[in-house]
Amino acid sequence: KHLDISGGLGDVGLATLAPALRQLPKLEHLSLNGNRIGDTGLAALAPALRQLPLLEYLSLGEISYQEDFVPSACRFGDQGLASLLIPPIACVLPSLKFLNLYCNQITVNGLATLASALRNGALPELMTLRLIYGNPRRDQAWHLWMKMSWDLGGGWNSTILPLARWGVHFQMKRS
C-alpha cells in the first residue's frame, strides 16, 4: 500500500518504474521525493499513475542533493504538470487526497493549468495541495490562488488558502 522511492531517480529511471507501478493497483501512498523529475519523466509516469485507482497520496517534490551536496530541485514544469492533469478522460486521479509538488519549475501558466484541471474534476477528492517554493515568484502564485478563491466565493488567511469548491488547501509559507 505504501511505496517510497526517494532520491536518485531521473527521467529514465521513472520511465523504467512506470510499468511496474501498473502492477500495484492497491497502492495508496507513493512518495518520489528528492528525485530529479523532469517533464519527460513525469509524462512517462502519468499514465501509470492513472492506473492506480486507490492512490490517495502522491509526493513529487522536495529537494534532492547532488553528490557535492548542492541542492537540486525537481525539474518538472508546466509541460510535466499538464501531462499529469490533462488526460483523455475527465477524472485523472479519482482517489487522490494529497498532492505534493514542492520545489519545481512550474510557472504561473502551469498554476492556471492546474486551476483549470481542478475546475474540470481532474482531482475530485483532493484535500491538500502542497505547492511551495516553486519557480513562480511566491507573490505571483499567492495572488493567482487568492484570486481563484475569491472568484469561487471562498476566503483566505495568512497561511492556508482554502478553495471552497473543492475543499483544497493551497499551503503557502510566507516570509
Local structure of 162: helix, strand or coil: strand
What is the pTM (predicted TM-score) of this model?
0.75
The answer to whether residues 58 and 19 touch, using CB atoms and an 8 Å cutoff, is no
On whether the 2-171 domain is CATH 3.80.10.10, my answer is yes
Burial class (CB in 10 A: 0-12, 13-18, 19+), 70: exposed
Q: Say yes or no to pLDDT of 165 above 50.
A: no
Angle at 28 between CA 105 and CA 20, to 5 degrees: 75
Residue in the block written with cell 514542492: 102
Quote the pLDDT of residue 70: 46
Quote the pLDDT of residue 137: 54
Quote the pLDDT of residue 30: 96
Per-residue model confidence as pLDDT tens digits over 85-141? 876 555 678 899 888 887 777 777 787 787 777 777 788 887 777 765 555 555 555
Per-residue model confidence as pLDDT tens digits over 99-111? 888 777 777 778 7
Local structure of 64: helix, strand or coil: strand
Helix extents (H) in 3-107: 11-21, 39-49, 78-85
Strand residue runs (E) in 12-113: 29-31, 57-59, 64-65, 71-72, 98-100
Query: How do the domains of the chain map onto residue ranges?
Result: 2-171
Q: Say yes or no to pLDDT of 68 above 60.
A: no
Quote the pLDDT of residue 109: 79
Q: How much is the average pLDDT of 71-76? A: 62
Residue in the block written with cell 493551497: 170
d(CA 91, CA 102) in angstroms, rounded, equals: 23
**Dihedral of the alpha carbons of 134, 80, 83, 2, in degrees to the nearest 10:** -80
